Amino acid sequence: MNLLGNPQNELEIITVGGTNAKGSTCYSLSKTLMQTGGNIGCFTSPHLHSVRERIKINNQNIDPNTFGEYILKIKELANDNNIQITYFEMLTAVAYLYFKEEKVDYAIMEIGLGGEWDAVNVGNAQIAILTTLGQDHTEYLGHNLEDIAKTKAKIVRKDSIVITGWDEKYHKYIPQSSKLIKGNSIEEWITNCVKCLNLSIVTQMCSVPGRLERYTNFTLDTAHNVQAIKHILENENNYQKIILGMLQDKDIENFICELPNNSVILGCDLNTERSTSSENIANLCRKAKLSCKKFESVEKAIKSIKNENTLITGSFYTVSEART
């Protein structure tokens, strides 16, 4: 970032970390701040269909030509200086550079994984939103909420305003900040954010692709950890069929244990080498005393559905294949 002139240092950054609801918070916060008439940058991950979905200004994806130019510029710079850069670091650098060049009024930046060592955290958060706290990416973040809280909270700076949905017993893991505000929902987090920015606008919630997205008798949601699937099933749990595809590194067994015992699980192989097998899903369902059928793909599982009320979940990959 030094070689790029540290574009992140010229931005008003709102960093969104936590376990779940980060993407939904970013989308609704962006829609809310767009009422100011300014340019609102929004960086989220992962994407459903196009990598350019991750980098938006006023809800418009970065255009292909601009995206390509920035990728080539950063790649050439890295090669010339013998710097190895990861996929996510590249996209983060593109976002910061693009937002700086386009003079956005606010840059909403979603943490990819954890917080402390995430590429997004190179920027200093004016406002840090810590959404929920749960177990995910335990191989990187730790196996207890205390360890997870410590690394996620490292997005906070001394002069940051913190808005969080964490239980108060975990607030002690949040570094010293200028102010800490508790909120219990996406709407509350955004409302508090608007107040902290001294803006005369109202909170606007928006629907997000792949988050409780409904189409005829199907509900699609990218839930991929226990906390997320519990939240989904609190809204509705009378699904007759659940199309499930998950990645190997997720807590698949405990996720499956949360599924309703009156639902039929359709375990799917996903089109990625990271996918767990439909055989593994079937075995875990059998262990949990759940009925399960195996499918080679999400598409074939969908084609087996007649008019049953069906949830499609388990991964961004699952929802992406369903929407294609």
Distance CA 11, CA 126 (A): 9
**What letter does residue 176 receive in the DSSP assignment?**
P
pLDDT at 141: 57
Q: What's the confidence (pLDDT) of residue 113?
A: 85
Question: Tens digit of pLDDT for each residue in 41-73?
Answer: 999 999 999 999 999 999 999 999 999 999 999
Q: For a pLDDT cut of 90, what percent of the chain falls above it?
A: 94
279-291 mean pLDDT: 98
Do 289 and 175 meet the contact criterion of CB atoms below 8 Å apart? Answer: no
* CATH level 2 (architecture), domain 7-196: 3-Layer(aba) Sandwich (3.40)
- Indicate if 213-323 has the same CATH topology as 7-196: no
Q: For the chain, what are the domain ranges?
A: 7-196, 213-323
HEC letters along 62-116: CCHHHHHHHHHHHHHHHHHCCCCCCHHHHHHHHHHHHHHHCCCCEEEEECCCCCC
Rounded to two decimals, what is the model's pTM? 0.92
- The candidate with the shortest Cα–Cα distance to 186, out of 161, 170, 155, 208, is 208
Residue 107 β-bridge partners: 13, 41
Residue among 186, 187, 160, 162 nearest 172 (CA): 162
The superfamily (CATH) of domain 213-323 is Mur ligase, C-terminal domain (3.90.190.20)
Q: Which of 96, 95, 28, 115 is nearest to 55 (CA)?
A: 95
